[in-house]
Amino acid sequence: MSLALGFDLGGTTVTAALVSEQGEILHSLDAPTPADQPAQATLDLMEKLFAELLAHTQESVVGIGMGIAGLINPYQGVVHTSPNLPLWQDVDLRSPLQKRFGLPVYLDNDVRAMALGELHFGAGQDAESMLCLTVGTGIGSAIVLKGEIHRGATLSAGEFGHITVVHQGGRLCGCGNTGCLETLAGTQGILLLARRYLERGQAPILAKKLAQGEKLMPRLVAEAAEAGDPGCIQVWNEVGTWLGSALAGAVNFLNPERIVIGGGIAQAGKLLFGPVRQTILTRAFALPAQSVQVLAAQLGPQAGIVGASVLARRGVKA
């Protein structure tokens, strides 16, 4: 048995784990992300966690793989910028860690790591082509073609959330553009829609939950919809239709074998997947629309770290 060391650098938590060849997490360690400190603080933390994990096993460890949000150059092992780590600028993670542990070190962005996890051990298994989406506060994606991650000419491929879907009068997006898919089908878009139905008095079950002190979040909107709230059901129909319209474009354009959707919003289950699938069937060409499988991600929050271990084993393919 050989193990790989996976590392997931999130906005609030970092996780390091030893992962088997079968994608099983054997041992893991967490710590808070030192997000407001210079990069060296995180490097020190990584060294500490990795050393602790490696001391934990007699098995051979083949390499270190990492998934990090932001603009990552996997060929150079450099984090150019990361939204979670505002002080980081062109940080070389590979050289110091490779030197310290004598193992190959690979990194890529977090959505691509998640996609690798799903591709090898989750909903994407055996897919030759796949679009892997994560839908939460933002909407990210990774594209798999011929079983490999497609990164694009400037490593920017997969910014699915920033497809313009409203051409005039759209909301301002975090990216600076207006009318991006993310402003409609991400968390903020969902909450804005829910508030609209609340104001119109069309979301009574949601209103009752809020009156009981529950916090307005997508999960609550999903619970209210499941309990039959008409406004909340409509919220998911609209969100699923926005997402499905953009995916119908992707289906026509890429003709993927599979679409895998994860992230917090995907937990709404069939409330979301129903209208997504229906919209793809309505809007995309018949042949690719009928053949594409639209599936929920299977590995949950562990996809990133399991995918990082795949990166550690396989390296970065050009």
Instruction: Give residues in contact with Zn ion (CB under 5 A).
Output: 162, 173, 175, 177, 180
CB of 162 to Zn ion, least distance (A): 4
Task: Please say which residue, 172 or 287, places its beta carbon nearer to Zn ion.
Answer: 172
Least distance from C-beta 188 to Zn ion, angstroms?
A: 12
What is the layout of strands, in order, in the sheet containing 139-145?
148-150, 139-145, 130-135, 258-262, 293-296
CB atoms < 10 A from the CB of 216, how many? 15
Give whichever of 53 and 165 is closer to Zn ion, judged by the CB atom: 165
- Please state the closest distance from residue 177 (CB atom) to Zn ion, in A: 5
CB 3 within 8 A of CB 19: yes
By beta-carbon proximity to Zn ion, the closer residue of 192 and 287 is: 192
Among residues 77 and 158, whose Cβ is nearest to Zn ion?
158
Q: How far is the CB of 184 from Zn ion (least distance, A)?
A: 11
Give the C-alpha separation, 246 to 266, whole Å.
16
Residue 234 to residue 194: CA distance in whole angstroms: 9
Nearer to Zn ion, 176 or 213 (CB): 176
DSSP readout, 131-178? EEEEESSSEEEEEEETTEEE--TTS-TT-GGGSB---SSPPBPTTS-B
- d(C-alpha 199, C-alpha 16), whole Å: 45
Least distance (Å) between residue 173 CB and Zn ion: 3
